[in-house]
Amino acid sequence: MMELTRSLGELKRRGIRPRRSIVVCSWDGEEYALTGSTEWGEQFADDLKKKLVAYLNVDESVAGAATPRVPKG
């Protein structure tokens, strides 16, 4: 998630802007009954129903082996 936001910031510094707004969120209390995302979704439900194009959940994007694979040769 941090790399995603860093990359978006770098694009902005280069003058590259998305055609649509991007909202980046980090949920507190997410693992306990999904309270973070549920509360936010309920609060903004009307706007999300009208305007949402995509929802990317990257909370598990770092799961797995921590050792990078380096190609040989």
Catalytic residues: 30
To the nearest 10°, the Cα dihedral for 21, 26, 28, 29? 90
Sign of CA dihedral 8, 12, 16, 20: positive
